[in-house]
Structure 1
Amino acid sequence: MNQARPVEDSITGAQALVECLQDQGVQTLFGYPGGAIMPIYDALYEAELTHVLCRHEQGAALAAIGHARATNGVGVVMATSGPGATNLITGLADAMMDSIPIVAITGQVARAAMGTDAFQEIDVLGLSLACTKHSYLVEDPEDLPRIIEEAFALAKSGKPGPVLVDIPKDVQQAAISRKPKAKAAPKTTQVDFAALNRAETLLRTAQRPIAYIGGGVGMGDAIDELRDYLASTGMPAVETLKGLGSCGLDYPYNLGMLGMHGSRGANMAVQDCDLLLVVGARFDDRVTGKLDEFAPKARVIHVDIDAAEMGKRRHADVPLAMDAKAALKHLARVPVGNDWQRHCATYKAEHSFTAPRAPDHIHAPWLLSQLSQKAGRDARVCCDVGQHQMWVAQHMQFDHPSRHISSGGLGTMGFGLPSAIGAKLACPGTETILVTGDGSIMMNIQELATIKRMNLAVKILLLDNQRLGMVRQWQTLFFEGRHSEVDLSDNPDFLTIASAFGIQGERLCHPDQVDGALDRFLAAKGSYFLHVAIPSEDGVWPLVPPGKGNHQMMEA
């Protein structure tokens, strides 16, 4: 069917979509075209938008997440019907678990063909219900502008998350009337002063308070308020994986990451505390260990934009279901006693992460520590999932949560390369480093083509132990050393693959090579690929075993 010609004062649904994206301030979007979304791609042809053609829809979705994480804005991804839409699901689930605002736009077969098992028809609305904040199927062309506006508002309001809009092909082609754009109502912030008064009582009676900082602080644009609050109270703080960087590198009472692979100092301080001020965190199982042994002496003040998080895993003595920015502005500022500060400082001094240089092989934590020192606090690091992800969290330093982009709740292997692409496009002037593993990089290695196409200077550090390292470590510890399906010794020559995409690089296997290689890595004008051989038996330490409390950490 030929695309309908719009009459005067009307436009097609596809043109309306493009106008809506521009009205929302979108400048960059990611996607992959196909039959059911072709009218939208035709409308993009003359649009003042940068469309990034990724080489797989999952890569496009993860790149949109990287873009959103780097800007604290809304990422946009598009795909066609059928396999295009189903390939987005992992990215949507990742965004849902980590509360990342994404708008996904999918093409769908024409309305008359829906329900007939038409070519590339799939019920993506039904598939997406478990991994989106909301999903739409546009059944009336005149509803399209309203739905797009609502989708962006939903994605970024309250607890952020992904929203999917499925648009039948004939809706994209239909002529719709131009309508005046309504002005958005000003955002109002609700402040629960009664709960703040109850929180003040707990803060004034606490002797050993700890601030437990999650990713919601950065997403809520409350970093300045958090740092001001900590500076005025001197309260010791711990951070989750997604919260890393929130307290800043200069705060002396930041004990760093807590949880399964957190520092012993952070975990022990939390176990000793009598009050947890939880801001933008959700008591994730990887943070708490055995839940009924987590911070057993502590009362809880829980600040989170999502009321559903209150009491979900741990009772909150004072639930503050409100914006972190507003809560930190109004929360009572009670100075913390010197004895408790000294106690936490001792934990930090005695139990911080160490990264010694090995004499005859490259010790990954030491390498990452050296890289962090050379790259400086302004560099952005994107991670895949596995041992290298935890080593980055432990041994690299971050001055802001947007400088550390990692898949948290879903733990998506293949996340790192496309997210680095999205982050670099969002902030081209920022040094962007991908730290990946030999297992993870193979999941979305096709996106090296996107780096080449977009001429992006993404620095790629591959830690290669020829194993699925984290799985192997757990099999060693908890499955009697029965190493099942973790051998990746038949990996390809990664430098040859990189060179095929025009990316220069080098291979390292001895610590004497590291200093000069890191200098070349960071000084390179374009992308650069460091392939680093590390021992297969190296593990991530410390580790809280399954079913144990955080005070029962295992050491190497």
Structure 2
Amino acid sequence: MKLSGAQITIETLIEQGTKFVFGYPGGQVINLYDAIYEADDRIHHVLTAHEQGASHAADGYARSSGGVGVVIATSGPGATNLVTGIATAYLDSVPLVAITGNVPNSLIGRDSFQEVDITGITIPVTKHNFFVKRIEDLADTIRHAFQIAKSGRPGPVLIDIPKDVQIAEYEYTKMPVVEKEEQRKPKTHKLEKLSKMIKESQRPFIYVGGGALVADATQEIEQLANVMDAPIGSTLMGLSSVYHNNPRFLGMVGMHGHYASSKSLSEADLLIVIGARFSDRATGDVNKYGNRTKIVHIDIDRAEVDKNIIVDLGIGGDVKEALQELLPMLETKSNVEWQKRIEALKQEESQQFERTVSLDTLNPYTLITEVQKYTTPDMPIATDVGQHQMWVAQYYQFNKPRTFITSGGLGTMGFGMGAAIGSALATGKKTVLFTGDGSFGMNMNELSTLSKLQAPVVIIIMNNGVLGMVRQWQNLFFDKHFSQTNLSGMPDYQKLADAFGIPSYHITNMDELHKNIEKAMHTNGPVLVDCLIDKDEMVLPMLPPGGSFDDIITEMEEN
């Protein structure tokens, strides 16, 4: 069947299982949008307010569904507006296919209207990208992009399609959904070496990252912890890969990680790292990290092994397969003294919490725990980036994989609105977005998308009138020089919500929280909840810049 390049593009997306496409039309993709119009009974397009919002929505859709997110933008500024979203997906290993239009081949390189070398621009933040010169290559290029995006360590792929390729006609034949590329198996002799190290260890610690979620390795990790008699800690991106109600799970490790989790890692004699990449926010001072322990790193991306931290044993391959092969090699063991030490650290953490967190005032902890009373384990919880993100990571209890939707590697303020919309569409579930007034201001234009879709997103704004995380650093390390972190001139969020036809609540104290949060959580469609919190609330514990786990700040001294 002969079709135009634009029609081939949309038919191939449908062929590869795409149900939702996010995007924004323009001159160099108008043919693609005409093809979408013709196929609107088979593929749903979501028009966002801005291309960046579309890229984050496609990202959130992929994170929640485990599939490939798809976003479309026109040439020039449309394409460049995708870059932050593409980079966000790249740093967090999210499978994304970004399709951009470009000027006709005959005009490439002539500084034509809205021409930009988007493939050149995105080389550093994509797994691969394609410039499709010939319509003969179009369908197979799209299929290859899907395969690359979801194979091995997932990531974004960009396809740039000139206007003349979209207009030209060529024969289209439907093909099956592409399978992931086969990965090399973990080496058995290395797993045997690991089993020996586990047998000899007395203080083992399991440290999981986002790769554990990608591999769907929750069950294997929990089995490993039980056999080894080991606690489990997580990176920010690994949250929800191990359930919070698992008694072995100590929470997040790193700059704002849980005290017991970070201290246990630092005191372990064997650290097994599963699908994590030793980010600087997780390690602190790399020269002191793990210098009292043997480190084993299991990761599908062999380039990560020995990149940031030199390890004693690196095992390449799918982590689920590696653990499935490892488990039969092990005998169940008991580390009595280690468990006593962990219980002592948990008790210290509990005492710190009691000294620093009030249960009687409206604050991040009371807000998050009150919201969780009205959620279910399968609801996606999205965040923007900043203090509110760390509070959610610390206090919200995730008990199902792929329910924590956040920007980790790039730390993208403004990520949350689009991501929450994508997550709600992917799951069909009510989705909660925790955001700060600073982050919310980045992409509040997507309220129009939310209103139009009537997507069931509950927006919880932790409104402290400042850029909280930057202010916290200014407070602790810059002699209270609060330079440009006061957010004067922000709108009345209830009036803003009303302008978009979205119901809203304003909460200033615990009575209003108890009175209104249940109403908000039971609202059909979108709702906005503006919660005032103290500008001097801090995220603790905290590793100081360049510090190690020996330098954890757990409490602030009284002035």
TM-score interval (norm. to shorter): over 0.9
Structure 1 residue 231, shift from structure 2 partner: 3.4
In the alignment, the residues of structure 2 paired with residue 299 and residue 427 of structure 1 have an alpha-carbon distance, to the nearest angstrom, of 40
Q: Which residue of the other structure, out of 16, 23, 31, is the alignment partner of 2:8?
A: 16
Structure 1 residue 50, shift from structure 2 partner: 0.4
Structure 1 residue 296, shift from structure 2 partner: 2.0
What does residue 550 of structure 1 align with? 549
Pairs within 5 Å for 1:208-357: 208-331=203-326, 332-334=329-331, 335-352=333-350, 353=353, 356-357=357-358
In the alignment, the residues of structure 1 paired with residue 179 and residue 392 of structure 2 have an alpha-carbon distance, to the nearest angstrom, of 42
What does residue 121 of structure 1 align with? 115
What does residue 37 of structure 2 align with? 45
- Could you give the per-residue CA deviations for residues 460-489 of structure 1, whole angstroms, max 9, x where no partner exists? 100111000111110111111111101113
- Could you give the per-residue CA deviations for residues 199-247 of structure 1, whole angstroms, max 9, x where no partner exists? 1111111111100010110111222222233334332110111111222
What does residue 57 of structure 2 align with? 63
What does residue 478 of structure 1 align with? 477
Whether 2:103 is the aligned partner of 1:102: answer no
Give TM-score scaled by structure 2 length.
0.95
Pairs within 5 Å for 1:120-519: 120-179=114-173, 181=175, 184=178, 188-189=182-183, 190-331=185-326, 332-334=329-331, 335-352=333-350, 353=353, 356-357=357-358, 359=360, 361-428=361-428, 430-519=429-518
Checking the alignment, whether the CA contact within 8 Å between 2:207 and 2:272 is kept in structure 1 is yes
In the alignment, the residues of structure 2 paired with residue 63 and residue 477 of structure 1 have an alpha-carbon distance, to the nearest angstrom, of 35
Partner-residue secondary structure (3-state), 2:287: helix
Pairs within 5 Å for 1:73-88: 73-88=67-82
In the alignment, the residues of structure 2 paired with residue 183 and residue 54 of structure 1 have an alpha-carbon distance, to the nearest angstrom, of 27
In the alignment, the residues of structure 1 paired with residue 219 and residue 72 of structure 2 have an alpha-carbon distance, to the nearest angstrom, of 34
Checking the alignment, whether the CA contact within 8 Å between 1:267 and 1:551 is kept in structure 2 is no
The runs of at least 4 consecutive aligned structure 1 residues that moved more than 6 Å come to: none
In the alignment, the residues of structure 1 paired with residue 27 and residue 457 of structure 2 have an alpha-carbon distance, to the nearest angstrom, of 32
Letter in 2 for 1:16: I
In the alignment, the residues of structure 2 paired with residue 279 and residue 248 of structure 1 have an alpha-carbon distance, to the nearest angstrom, of 16
Checking the alignment, whether the CA contact within 8 Å between 1:28 and 1:51 is kept in structure 2 is yes
In the alignment, the residues of structure 1 paired with residue 413 and residue 175 of structure 2 have an alpha-carbon distance, to the nearest angstrom, of 41
Letter in 2 for 1:85: A
What does residue 3 of structure 1 align with? none
Structure 1 residue 185, shift from structure 2 partner: 6.5
Give TM-score scaled by structure 1 length.
0.95
Structure 1 stretch 445-454 or stretch 224-233: which is displaced more?
224-233
Structure 1 residue 358, shift from structure 2 partner: 5.7
Checking the alignment, whether the CA contact within 8 Å between 2:242 and 2:401 is kept in structure 1 is no
What does residue 4 of structure 1 align with? none
Checking the alignment, whether the CA contact within 8 Å between 2:147 and 2:179 is kept in structure 1 is no
Letter in 1 for 2:462: L
> How many residues of Structure 1 are paired with residues of Structure 2 in the alignment?
546
In the alignment, the residues of structure 1 paired with residue 181 and residue 165 of structure 2 have an alpha-carbon distance, to the nearest angstrom, of 32
Partner-residue secondary structure (3-state), 1:320: strand
Partner-residue secondary structure (3-state), 1:402: coil
- Superposition RMSD on alpha carbons, in Å? 1.6
Letter in 1 for 2:127: K
Q: Where does the alignment leave 5 or more consecutive residues of structure 1 unmatched?
A: 1-8
Structure 1 residue 182, shift from structure 2 partner: 6.8
Q: Percent sequence identity over matched residues?
A: 42
- Could you give the per-residue CA deviations for residues 303-340 of structure 1, whole angstroms, max 9, x where no partner exists? 10000001001112211110011011012434341221
In the alignment, the residues of structure 2 paired with residue 519 and residue 356 of structure 1 have an alpha-carbon distance, to the nearest angstrom, of 23
In the alignment, the residues of structure 2 paired with residue 274 and residue 58 of structure 1 have an alpha-carbon distance, to the nearest angstrom, of 44
